[in-house]
Amino acid sequence: MLPWGLSCLSALGAVGTALLGAGLLLSLAQHLWTLRWTLSRDRASALPLPKGSMGWPFFGETLHWLVQGSRFHSSRRERYGTVFKTHLLGRPVIRVSGAENVRTVLLGEHRLVRSQWPQSAHILLGSHTLLGAVGESHRQRRKILARAFSRAALECYVPRLQRALRREVRSWCAARGPVAVYEAAKALTFRMAARILLGLRLDEAQCSELARTFEQFVENLFSLPLDVPFSGLRKGIRARDQLHRHLEEAIAQKLLEDKTAVEPGDALDGIIHSTRELGHELSVQELKESAVELLFAAFSTTASASTSLVLLLLQHPAAIAKIQQELAAQGLGRACGCAPAASGGGAGPPPDCGCEPDLSLAALGHLRYVGCVVKEVLRLLPPVSGGYRTALRTFELDGYQIPKGWNVMYSIRDTHETAAVYRSPPEGFDPERFGTAGDDALGAAGRFHYIPFGGGARSCLGQELAQTVLQLLAVELVRTARWELATPAFPAMQTVPIVHPVDGLRLFFHPLASPAAQDGQRL
C-alpha cells in the first residue's frame, strides 16, 4: 500500500494526464475544424478566404455572438477588416460592411446571391410572399405591391396616419404614470397597419386581441423548424391560423366589392387592383399571406424607429428647438386646440380629436430639418443590423473569395458607423449631416453609405411610408408634448434582433400649453 503522500501525487498525476489529454484532443479537434473550412474554399479561385475565426467545432462562434451582441461584430471588424469569416448558428458566414462591399452584395441579388431566411419563417409566412419569391416571381410581386406604396397611396394614408399619431401622443400626455414607449409604439404601429394599410374594421378590444396574436406569431417566426407540441414553430402556426381566420372575412368582403372601382382605399385594395390589372385574380389564401406579410414588414421596424426617435430627441433638446422653429416658419407651430389639459388623464386614451389634419406630403416636404432628423435617427439606430444572403456562385469581394453556398451577412450598422463621407464624426447625432452637402455626398456613387432600408432588388418597398410616419410623429410630438425620463438613467440598447431599449423606454409625457392659453399669455 502506497503512503498517503504518494497516493495524492499519483492521483494528481492522473488528473493532470487526463487534463493534458483532453486539452490535446480539443486542440486537435479545433485544428481539424479550422482545416475543414480552409479546405472548403473554392479551388477554382486563386483568391484566399477572408480572415477570421470559425470558432469551436460545431458551435462555431455562436456562443460568443449571443453573449457579446453588437460588440462581437465590431471587435472582429477591428481585428480582421470589413470582410471576415465566422461560423454562426451552424453555418459558415462571411460578414460584410463598407459601402462598396455592401453595394456588390445588394446589387448582386439573383445573380451573385439570393435572399436567405430561416425555414421556420418560410413555413409561417407562406409560399405566396415577396420575402420567399425569387427571380421573375419576385419582380412580379414587387410590381404588384408597389402600388400600395405609391405617392398617390401615401397621400391617401397621411390624414389617417396623422389622426392616429395625434391621438396616441395625446393619450401619452393623459397617462397618469410613465409610458413604456416601445410597447406603446408596437401597439400603435399594429393599429395603423391593420386599420389603415389593411382596412380592417376593428374596435379597440378586437385590435388588442389581434395584436397579441400577431406578437406571438412574430416571436416564433425564427425558431427551430420542428412542428412538435410546445415547440416555437407549433405556437407560431397556431398564431398564424388565428390571424388568417380574422383576415378571411375581411378579405372575402373586399373581393365581393365593386371590381370597377378606380382607386383602392388601402394597401390590400391596391394589391387586389394591381393583380387584376395584370389579368390575374389572387386567391383568399394568397391575400391572407400578403396581409400578414404587410403587418410583419410594418410592425417591429417602425415601432423600433419610432422609439429611437423619441429617445434621441430627448437626448438632444437642441434638435427639438430647431424643429419648433421650422414648424413656426411654415405656419405649423400650433398643436390642435384639442390638446389634453395638464390635469387630464383618464383610464383610457382620449377620444378622437375633432380637428382636421393639417399635414400632407407637400407640407412634410417643406420640413427639411424634420426630414434630416428622421434620416439621422435611422442612420444612428437602424432598426435591423443587417440582412442575410446565400452565395449562388463564388465571387470576389475586397480581394477575397466568397465561396458558393456560404452565407453572406451584410451589416447596416457597421456600414453606417464607418462611413467617411459626412462632415461630422459618424458616432455623433447630427441631423445637419443630411443637409445639401450631405445629400451631395450621398449621390449615386455614395448612396450605399446609408442603407437603413437595404438596397437593390430587395430594398424596402415601404421606406417612404416609414419615413412619413416618423416625420408625422416628430411633428405631433414636438408641438404637443414635452417628455422626460421616468428612470434614473437612459437605458441600454438591445440590438438583436430588433433595436430597442432594454427597459422599453419609460417616460413621463406632459402636454404643452394649448393655443388658447398661449394667446392668453401673449396678451
CA distances for 262 relative to 60, 151, 152, 257, 433, angstroms: 56, 16, 13, 12, 42
CB 123 within 8 A of CB 225: yes
Span 294-347, pLDDT tens digits: 888 888 899 999 999 999 999 999 999 999 999 999 999 877 766 554 434 334
- The residue type found at 390 is T
pLDDT at 4 over 70: no
Give Cα separations from 251 to 102, 205, 284, 515 (angstroms): 39, 20, 7, 43
Question: Among 297, 286, 317, which residue's Cα sits nearest to residue 128?
Answer: 286
Which pLDDT value is given to residue 380? 95
C-alpha span between 438 and 164 (Å, rounded): 32
Strands (E), 182-242: none
3-state secondary structure of 368: helix
How confident is the model over 422-476, as pLDDT tens digits? 878 888 999 999 986 555 555 554 689 999 999 988 888 889 999 999 999 999 9
Q: How far apart are CA 101 and CA 509, in angstroms?
A: 43
Question: Binding site: residue ranges?
Answer: 460
Distance between CA atoms of residues 306 and 404, nearest Å: 38
Q: Which pLDDT tens digit goes with each residue over 102-143?
A: 999 999 998 999 988 878 888 999 888 888 788 888 888 888
Would you list which residues are annotated within the binding site for heme?
460
Mean pLDDT score across all residues of the chain? 85
CB-based contact 217:239 (threshold 8 Å): yes
Chosen CATH of 122-332+358-512 out of 3.40.50.300, 1.10.630.10, 3.30.565.10, 3.90.1150.10: 1.10.630.10
Please state, in angstroms and rounded to a whole number, the distance separating the CA atoms of residues 294 and 371.
24
Predicted local distance difference test score (pLDDT) of residue 131: 80
pLDDT tens profile 186-228: 999 999 999 998 888 888 888 999 999 999 998 888 787 888 8
